[in-house]
Amino acid sequence: MTATAGGTWSADFESSEITSGTYTDSATVTVIDAALNSSTSSYTFDVDTEVSNFSRSTISTGADNVLNEAEAQLGLTVTGSVEAGSSVMVMFGAAGPYAASVSGGTWSLTIPTADIPPGEALATMTAIATDQYGNTSAPYSEVVDVDRVVTSFAPTGGPGTMAVDGFLNAEEFAHGLTLTGTGEAYSSVVIRLSNGAEQSVVVGSDGRWEAVFDSASLPSGEVTLGVAVTATDLAGNVSTFTDSLVIDTIAPPAPDVVGFSKNLIGVDGIRTVATEELAAQRSAGTADDSQRRIVALERKIATLLARETEEASVLRQTSANLRMFTEQYKLGRRPLMELVGMYETYARLERDHAALKYDRTLLRLQIAQLRGQLVDGRRM
């Protein structure tokens, strides 16, 4: 090239002529004047066209790489390395962007609990770094498996069905107590009775569990037996429900015979102590028995209502997440499998919520039957 009349010159190089990366390079310039005198100078300069050392180091999902409820309550903490002086921005699903804290060559961020999906979900985390020279990294993305619930955990048939009618009589007592229920496959279930008896079982691949207590492990007489069932799924989530049943193994006393009447054929009547009083006592006993059953059923209904309220909140949030995932999928920002996973979670929660209402209706029908408010259709 030729210098201008003012003695200046410039040289342009295409980007293809410059090797990308982070390194030190040099340029050599030789000047030759009209008299063919020459002079050479060399210059050293730094080239930086990338964000170096950008990676994710740790994530607080535990050894199983699944974010459970206990872990989610502390938020999701992510750390990594990056070129000193850089900034890091993170998206978690539709939440964010969050600015990570950067110290030296390390970055860290905690996603707040409120921005972590409830229930079971797959959330995509994306991080992008920008260095002090304005270079931007390629996005780092990974899918975080969120599992914050023990799904489908309940006694078979819903609360109040542990002993079919909530009572265990002497004949049933002799065969022991069988408790069954549903839960997330392969979860560990511990069943504790209020008298200290305990059993541990594992939910089968079909989502069902069963525990059998023989009569030797049960209290006899007339007693209310509390039952606490705790399930822990493979992600470490814990869920507990409680129930109770009445054990009554004591038969009523036999009446005392004080006389009888006879005719030509033989005995035609027997008189007992206070026959009318005994009949009244039996009637009162039946009424008391029905009232005890009603109280027990009403307690179970209250438990169901509390569960309905809690699960309704989770269902509403999951429904909102499903709508959000659907819109993101339409915009190409959400993989199809994440949308499918969220839909399956919503469908399961909706089914479980409907089952609670069904169980509550059955309990109300039992109460109506005990109060004599139902008509036996077979007799109409």
Give residue-wise pLDDT tens across range 353-371: 888 888 888 888 888 887 7
Q: Which residues contact 63 (CB under 8 A, 6 or more apart)?
A: none
Mean pLDDT of 244-258: 73
What are the residue ranges of helices labelled H in the chain?
69-72, 170-174, 275-330, 336-370
Mean pLDDT of 263-283: 55
Q: How confident is the model at residue 100 (pLDDT cuts 50, 70, 90)?
A: very high
Q: Which residue has the higher pLDDT, 1 or 255?
A: 1
Burial 284-293 (b: 16+ CB within 10 A, else e): eeeeeeeebb
Q: How confident is the model at residue 159 (pLDDT cuts 50, 70, 90)?
A: very low
Q: Which residue has the higher pLDDT, 322 or 272?
A: 322
Residue 280 is predicted with a pLDDT of 56
Tally Cβ neighbours within 10 Å of residue 235: 24
Q: How confident is the model at residue 91 (pLDDT cuts 50, 70, 90)?
A: very high
List C-alpha distances in Å: 173 to 177, 215, 250: 7, 6, 11
Sheet of 188-193, strand order: 167-169, 238-248, 222-232, 188-193, 198-202
Q: Which residue has the higher pLDDT, 295 or 260?
A: 295
| pLDDT over 70 (residue 262) | no
Q: How confident is the model at residue 165 (pLDDT cuts 50, 70, 90)?
A: low
Q: Which residue has the higher pLDDT, 18 or 310?
A: 18
Residue 85 is predicted with a pLDDT of 93
Q: How confident is the model at residue 161 (pLDDT cuts 50, 70, 90)?
A: very low
Residue 363, CB-side half-sphere exposure with 13 Å CA sphere: 26
Dist CA 40 CA 42 (whole Å): 7
Mean pLDDT of 238-260: 75
Residue 326 is predicted with a pLDDT of 86
Residue 329 is predicted with a pLDDT of 83
Residue 142 is predicted with a pLDDT of 93
Whose tokens are 């409680």? That residue is: 242
Residue 160 is predicted with a pLDDT of 43
SS3 at position 73: coil
| pLDDT over 60 (residue 267) | no
Q: Which residue has the higher pLDDT, 169 or 83?
A: 83
Q: How confident is the model at residue 58 (pLDDT cuts 50, 70, 90)?
A: very high
Q: Which residues contact 338 (CB under 8 A, 6 or more apart)?
A: 121, 122, 123, 124, 143, 325, 329
Q: Which residues contact 74 (CB under 8 A, 6 or more apart)?
A: 60, 113
Average pLDDT, the chain: 83
Q: How confident is the model at residue 192 (pLDDT cuts 50, 70, 90)?
A: very high
Query: Which of 179, 186, 164 is CA-nearest to residue 231?
Result: 186
SS3 at position 100: coil
Residue 253 is predicted with a pLDDT of 66
Q: Percentage of the chain surpassing pLDDT 90?
A: 31
What's the pLDDT tens digit per position in 295-337? 777 777 877 777 777 778 778 877 887 888 888 788 887 788 8
Q: How confident is the model at residue 285 (pLDDT cuts 50, 70, 90)?
A: low
Contact 357, 308 (CB under 8 A): yes
